[in-house]
Each structure stands twice: as structure tokens, then as C-alpha cells.
Amino acid sequence: AQKVTQAQTEISVVEKEDVTLDCVYETRDTTYYLFWYKQPPSGELVFLIRRNSFDEQNEISGRYSWNFQKSTSSFNFTITASQVVDSAVYFCALGGMKTSYDKVIFGPGTSLSVIP
Amino acid sequence: SAVISQKPSRDICQRGTSLTIQCQVDSQVTMMFWYRQQPGQSLTLIATANQGSEATYESGFVIDKFPISRPNLTFSTLTVSNMSPEDSSIYLCSVEDWTAYYGYTFGSGTRLTVV
């Protein structure tokens, strides 16, 4: 069965601190997609990144970086020098790759509060 | 990337009534997905809607409660029928977006409160 675990329910950091959000997934598929989405208080879901299972290169985008380790089934997300605008719920998600239409399974989310 | 217009953005409904939520996409898409997000919870897939065929429902969701229409490649509706307070949630539609960033784009959501 497919499953996404985000062990951290809530995290609070002081502005400018670095913070890492953990994501562990389970799947029997050999190929799959991993995603991170941000949901600010306004409620919309904002796409952050997609990673293919066969591409284990880490990625950096500005203050955001992602560490994908297939050996440990983890896809962690780090925010460097956090800002108040980073306060949101962050969801890690797992999608199939067998067809174009495999559904996406979302983790429970991590609520991040950045305190000024 | 695809742009989704979802309506209404929020509604307060009486129990026992029905609400139809609309999603309009600015490009043609094969599959549309409907999710429910209960208060403080993650997203749960309700069903997958393919144009021209019956929607495929996930375990725990049935067509009588959540009928879906998909009349063309840019539009879909989800109806929440015979509502109870337990149906109070955010409902979101989503499409695959393999243009700009190869991800899934979501509508802005419909925040439903049943009283």
C-alpha cells in the first residue's frame, strides 16, 4: 500500500532559523513521483516541487532545498533563513507513474509557524 | 501552467440540501480529480473524473453522495448531496499540469459549512 508519513505535526521556529520538514513514504512501485505543496492560511495549494524516483539529485531553489534518499524512502524539505511568509502547512505527496492518471496520496501535513 | 476557476469559494448550507461545485480549466485535460480536506486534516481523494465516462470513486465515497459530471475536457462538477455537518470541509479540484512544471494544479477550493 502507498503511504506518506510526516512525523512532525507542528513546528515553530524563529525567523531566520533553518528548518527541515521530514517526509517518509512507502510504495511497492519502482517508479513514482514525489511532491511538496504549500498551503498558506488563505487555503490554496501551491506546488513547490516534483521529483521522479529515478532522479536522486538534490535540488535547491532559492531558500528551499530538497534531499531525496531512495535508500531510506525519504524526501525532506529544508527552508533556509526562514521568513514569516513561510508560515503554512506543508504537504508531502506520492504519485504513481504507471499511467498518467495515477492518483496522488498526500501526507498528513506539517504546520510551520515562523515567529518574527 | 493551467489555471483553474473553482466556484463557489465558500458556502453555508442547511443540512439535507445539496451543493454543486464547479471547476473550469483554461486548457483541455483528460483527468480531473476531486479532493476533500476536512478541518485540520490532509487531502483525501474523492474520485477521478474522465471525460465521457463514469467517475472512479475511492473507498469510502459513493456516487449517490458525491455525483460528478464531466461534460467536456475543461469542466467538471461535484455535488455534495443530502448534506450533514460532517460534510463541512474544503473541496478542491485538481488537474495534471504537464506544461510548466509537471505537477498537479489545484483550484482555490470551496469552503463548505453545513449547519
Q: What is the pLDDT of residues A66-112, one digit of tens each?
A: 999 999 999 999 999 999 999 999 999 998 766 555 678 999 999 99
Q: A109 to chain B: which residues are within 8 Å by CB?
A: 42
pLDDT for B72: 93
Residues in chain A within 8 Å Cβ distance of B90:
43
Report the pLDDT value the prediction gives residue A104, as an integer from 0 to 100. 87
CA distance A116 to chain B (A): 24
Residue of A nearest to B5 (CA): A44
**Could you say which DSSP state residue A98 is in?**
S
Q: Which pLDDT belongs to residue B53?
A: 83
Measured CA to CA, the distance from residue A17 to residue A78 in angstroms comes to 11
Alpha-carbon distance B27 to B9, whole Å?
Answer: 21
What would the mean pLDDT of B33-54 be, rounded to a whole number?
Answer: 92
For residue B12, with 0-12 CB atoms within 10 Å meaning exposed, 13-18 middle and 19 or more buried, which class applies? exposed
* Confidence at residue A80, expressed as pLDDT on a 0 to 100 scale: 97
With bands split at pLDDT 50, 70 and 90, how would you rate the model's confidence at B90? very high
Q: Do A106 and B108 touch (CB under 8 A)?
A: no
Place of cell 503554512: A88
| Interface contact A64, partner B, CB < 8 A | no
Per CB-CB distance under 8 Å, the chain A contacts of B33 are 103-104
Instruction: Pick B48's closest partner by Cβ from A37, A43, A101.
Output: A101
Rounded Cα distance, A36 and B72, in Å: 30
